[in-house]
Amino acid sequence: SHGWYLSFIQFLFVSFISYLDSTFISRSPKRRELPPYYEFMILSWMTVGTIGLSTVSLGFLNFPTQVIFKSCKLIPVMIGGIIILGKKYTLYDYCSVVLMCAGLIGFLAGRPNCFS
Q: Which residue has the higher pLDDT, 76 or 6?
A: 76
* CA–CA gap between residue 47 and residue 57 (Å, rounded): 15
Task: Decide: 46 and 7 in contact? Cβ < 8 Å.
Answer: no
Q: Is residue 1 predicted with pLDDT exceeding 60? A: no
Q: With contact defined as beta carbons under 8 Å apart, do 51 and 11 qualify? A: yes
> Taking all residues of the chain, what is their mean pLDDT, rounded to a whole number?
78
pTM exceeds 0.85 for this model: no
pLDDT at 74 over 90: no
Between 15-19, 30-34, 57-61, the lowest mean confidence (pLDDT) is in 30-34
Alpha carbon distances (Å) from 112 to 43, 62, 107: 38, 12, 10
Cα–Cα distance between 40 and 18 in angstroms, integer? 12
